[in-house]
Amino acid sequence: MIQLKINNIELSVPEKTTILNAARMNNINIPTLCYYPDLGLQSDCRICVVEIDGQKGLATSCSTKVREGMVVKTNSPRVLNARKTITELILSNHDANCTACPKNLKCELQSLANKLGIDQNRFEPVLRVKPIDTSNPSLIRNPNRCIKCGRCIDVCKNVQGMNVLELMGRGHDAEITPAYGRFLSDESCTYCGQCASVCPVGAIIENDETDRVWKQLHDKDKTTIVQVAPAVRVSLGEALGLPIGSIVTGKLVTALKLLGFHYVFDTDFTADLTIIEEGHELLHRVTNNGVLPMITSCCPGWINYAEQRYPSILSHISTCKSPQQMFGALAKTYFTKIIQKEPKDVIVVSIMPCTAKKYEAKRDEMKSDGIHQDVDIVLTTRELSKMLDQMGVDFAKLDETPFDNPFGITTGAAAIFGATGGVMEAALRTVYEVVNHQPLESIELTEVRGLDGIKETSVELGGNVYRFAVAHSLSNAKTLVDQVSNGTSPYTFIEIMCCPGGCIGGGGQPYGTIQKTRRDRIEATYLLDQSMPLRKSHESPAVKEIYRAFLGEPLGELSHKLLHTHYHSRQHT
């Protein structure tokens, strides 16, 4: 342990602790801007500077480790003046039209300026207005708000291994952009949105479609249907004042009804359906010498990655559509028939933890009638929380309502789709039983749970032992995909989720996601699973019913048409 003094308080902290963490552990708050727990150290905003006795200049507390006998001042006049000056400098080159920014009141720069008491800026505005990148349906990049903190570069490079964003140019012309100042759509951006989830200001943000949803909700000629992804029910609460990891399924349904949706359905239903289709596809590939390993297809960020960077392995990816798109296809065919409406009069909205889902919904393949998109509008968890704020709902006080039928009864297997390893676990719960004609000894496959980057397990099916692997975040996925690509993969089935932690850590989730948040959301996910009366997809009565009443059999003709898709190379040169 190291003894030091911060603001005249004697502290004892473990070796190698940074001054910032030493202070925070002892309830002394040092403001930061570029620093983000779990990400690499940028140390370039210089906001967190402190004064250290005997040292010339000021030191950044995020990067300076404690030393025995150190005497630190975090709020001396010199420090406060430096912090204020630096914040004014940032604001002098920032589009500070706060009320016109979607990040208003959630902006870390705004909050910092407030805390430092900056009510006017000594420095001249020097912003040179640059064009806004609206090249894609998922993410909007507004360079005029960018403060060059570098978090987006770090998450894109080091967590996702993508290197789409980089600090280009130098001096005052420095700018964070894709290479050569191109658009995100010109690069192999997967639209995972991890950059948006760590951006302290409104420089990268999801394409806000809340106004489009309001318009449809108020259109008397439209029947509005909403589906909610598994990961949203364990994260929405925290954006609306509840503790992290709160399970808010019932309140969420009530809130969506209050917004005016005619039908509130559960994407968990098509998650169960995905298990049936994907499980059968796996068995078909195994028994017919098909292409193996098979890789999951639920995650649109992963699909974007594969189509752009690994077109040679597309045949390994399950042809199953994602649960969102299976839902859209059934809503615009099966369900429109039940309610006797035309697809053009039915609006399907998804609430997703994800920004890439916005792109997925707009793919050409996703039109069951050949004309209308199966899913019309995708909102992120954050956008939904914004709509609820706009409506003035006191979310914590809402009653609980069950999902509507026929897409409302679901299983614990679907509930865990949102956590990394969840799809694998859900699939094995079903596949094991289908092949071995007996249930798994323990249906909880703990080997594939948790936040290790790559997890693996092996299971005996029909007398043979098969190996399975799970990866989350694209840098981990790359390890497994490289094996597939060079023919050395020892696995039969691989689950890949693009975001760290899986969908619970998605790019559309409430701001401030760190490792602890992911852990709490995952814990809630497994609690939800435990609380469900049914925990295997093939036991779902709703799934059985849709095969009986509509689809026929898994991998059947109608399934093939509505629930499966194909991929194509989109490699950039």
> What positions carry a catalytic annotation?
278, 281, 298, 318, 357, 360, 365, 503
Report the site for other proteins in 349-388 (rule: CB under 8 A). Answer: none
CB atoms within 10 A of CB 552: 13
Does the footprint of other proteins cover residue 151 (CB under 8 A)?
no
Complex with other proteins: residue 129 or 465, whichever CB lies closer: 129
Which of 2, 5, 24, 63 lies at the binding interface for other proteins (CB under 8 A)?
A: 63
Round to whole Å and give the CA distance between 156 and 114: 30
Residue labelled with tokens 């898709």:
565
Does the footprint of other proteins cover residue 170 (CB under 8 A)?
yes
DSSP 27: T
Distance of CA 415 to CAs 145, 277, 303, 504, Å?
Answer: 38, 17, 22, 11
Round to whole Å and give the CA distance between 161 and 192: 12
Complex with other proteins: residue 26 or 93, whichever CB lies closer: 93
Report the site for other proteins in 537-556 (rule: CB under 8 A). Answer: none
Round to whole Å and give the CA distance between 265 and 227: 5
Round to whole Å and give the CA distance between 429 and 320: 18
Identify the CA nearest to 359 among candidates 303, 297, 317, 309.
Answer: 303
Shortest Å, Cβ 93 to other proteins: 6
Shortest Å, Cβ 145 to other proteins: 15
- E-state strands within 169-258: 175-178, 204-206, 223-228
Number of residues that bind other proteins (CB under 8 A): 37
The tokens describing 485, both together, are 């690509």
Round to whole Å and give the CA distance between 481 and 483: 5
Contacts with 159 (C-beta within 8 Å, 6 or more apart), sequence order? 39, 194, 473, 474, 475, 500
CA atoms within 13 A on the CB side of 305: 29
Q: Kindly calculate the radius of gyration of the chain based on its CA atoms and give it in whole angstroms.
A: 25
Does the footprint of other proteins cover residue 145 (CB under 8 A)?
no
Complex with other proteins: residue 172 or 397, whichever CB lies closer: 172
Round to whole Å and give the CA distance between 195 and 193: 5
Does the footprint of other proteins cover residue 82 (CB under 8 A)?
yes
Complex with other proteins: residue 153 or 459, whichever CB lies closer: 153
Round to whole Å and give the CA distance between 428 and 436: 11
Binding letters toward other proteins, positions 95-134, x by CB under 8 A: ---------------------------xxx-x--------
Round to whole Å and give the CA distance between 272 and 536: 8
Which residue type, as a one-letter code, is found at position 239? Answer: A
Tell me which stretch binds other proteins (CB under 8 A): 168-176, 265-273, 295-303, 323-331. 168-176
Contacts with 108 (C-beta within 8 Å, 6 or more apart), sequence order? 33, 200, 201
Complex with other proteins: residue 47 or 295, whichever CB lies closer: 47
Complex with other proteins: residue 119 or 211, whichever CB lies closer: 119
SS3 of residue 391 by DSSP? helix
Tell me which stretch binds other proteins (CB under 8 A): 165-173, 190-198, 384-392, 393-401. 165-173
Binding letters toward other proteins, positions 40-59, x by CB under 8 A: -xxxxxxx-x------xxx-
Which of 90, 354, 388, 471 lies at the binding interface for other proteins (CB under 8 A)?
A: 90
Tell me which stretch binds other proteins (CB under 8 A): 17-25, 146-154, 259-267, 349-357. 146-154
The answer to whether residues 450 and 421 touch, using CB atoms and an 8 Å cutoff, is yes
Complex with other proteins: residue 47 or 431, whichever CB lies closer: 47
Which of 131, 169, 439, 552 lies at the binding interface for other proteins (CB under 8 A)?
A: 169
Which of 2, 7, 38, 89 lies at the binding interface for other proteins (CB under 8 A)?
A: 89
Complex with other proteins: residue 172 or 437, whichever CB lies closer: 172
Which of 26, 75, 76, 92 lies at the binding interface for other proteins (CB under 8 A)?
A: 92
Shortest Å, Cβ 190 to other proteins: 24
Q: Which residues bind other proteins (CB under 8 A)?
A: 41-47, 49, 56-58, 60, 63, 65, 78, 81-82, 85-86, 89-90, 92-93, 122-124, 126, 147-148, 150, 167, 169-174
